[in-house]
Structure 1
Amino acid sequence: MEKTAFYTVKQIPPEETYPVRHPVLRTGLPLATCEFDGDDAPTTFHIGVYIEGKLAGVVTILENAHSRFDEERQFQLRGMAVLEEFQKQGLGQVLVREAEKEVERRGGYFMWMNARKVAVRFYEKLGYIIDGDEFIIETVGPHYVMCKKWK
């Protein structure tokens, strides 16, 4: 767990991600859509960032291979969300960096995600690159596969 004067970061159970995933990523859809395949897998972890004790943002990381990549151990970033009232404060960057640290602790050095088109610049600033063409996820919209390898 990391703690600063501004925020606290810790691993959380999957169901604690739903109150953040729902309004940010699944607006207007049933709460059940916040449960992702693999949320409960033993190799999956969820990170929450808290401001003054309130959960402000979440990210989920699954050990999951994408067929387009050759890396032996691949981790997928999913469910990245920061509540609107806490956006534009650097919390998304904190979540991604903490996820990368935990992936490295688990012996991995490669992450990929299906990034929403509107989030591409955010991930590019963190060193992720687009791999492939734009595609549509029904009910969610345009996405790109993005990835990053370190070490």
Structure 2
Amino acid sequence: MTLRVAMVEAAVTTELRRAVLRPHHAVGTLMFGDDLPDAVHLAALDGDVVVGACVLVPHPYPHRNEPAAWQLRGMATDPARRSQGVGAQVLGGAVDAVTDRGGRLLWCMARQVAVAFYERNGFVVDTAEYVEPYTGLPHHDMYRRVSAG
């Protein structure tokens, strides 16, 4: 598998994020960050095919006083490509993108089923389990320091 992670326009990753994270939404529905000018959209590309994606937005982390915090949103991997390292490559690209922009902390609202994945990739659980109101699914807030300073 030869993947590359690249910064792309939002529309390149919208459908994968919708299909994986909000399958009940209609095809063509905008996803979080698609209309935010300061959002960074990353795609894991196998040739021209998007097999993984995430969105990064500069946003304070509510549990730590870190002014250079970025939130990871819309983390999605094509179900046929799970457990092949795609997600880890996307996260690596996210860490690089945040670091390149002066960020020092990357955080997310992780679905319970993804906590072990994030822990394997350097994130720390920072809250007790809670039910996220929109999805109705159990989550934990997690963070990772991305650069020294």
TM-score by length of 2: 0.90
Match of 1:82 among 77, 80, 85: 77
CA distance in 2, matches of 1:29, 1:41: 20
Percent sequence identity over aligned pairs: 31
Matched residue, 2:41: 46
What is the 5 A alignment of 1:105-120? Answer: 105-120=100-115
SS in 2 for 1:124: helix
- Distance in 2 (CA, whole Å) between partners of 1:85 and 1:132 is 31
Shift of 1:88: 1.1
Partner residue in 2 for 1:125: 120
Single out whichever of 7-16 and 79-88 deviates more from structure 2. 7-16
SS at match of 1:18: helix
1:93 to 88, 93, 97: 88
2:15–2:28 Cα contact (<8 Å) kept: no
- Give how far 1:33 is off: 5.6
Distance 1:82 1:136, change over 3 A: same
Deviations 1:66-96 (A, max 9, x none): 2221011110000000111111110100000
Offset of residue 6 of structure 1: 0.6
1:7 counterpart = 2:25? no
Structure 2 Cα separation of the partners of residues 127 and 110 of structure 1: 12
User: What are structure 1's unaligned runs of at least 5 residues?
Assistant: none
Q: Could you tell me how far 1:52 is from its partner in structure 2?
A: 2.7
Q: SS of the counterpart of 1:30?
A: coil
**By how many angstroms is 1:135 displaced?**
1.1
1:19 aligns with 2:15: yes
CA RMSD of aligned residues (A): 1.7
Deviation at 1:48, TM superposition (A): 0.4
Runs of 4+ more than 6 Å apart: none
| Cα distance in 1 for residues equivalent to 2:60 and 2:29 | 22
Count the aligned residue pairs. 146
Which structure 2 residue ranges, 5 or more long, are not aligned? Answer: none
> Counterpart of 2:62 in structure 1: which amino acid?
S
1: distance between equivalents of 2:131 and 2:3?
Answer: 34
The residue type paired with residue 59 of structure 2 is: N
TM-score by length of structure 1 reads 0.89
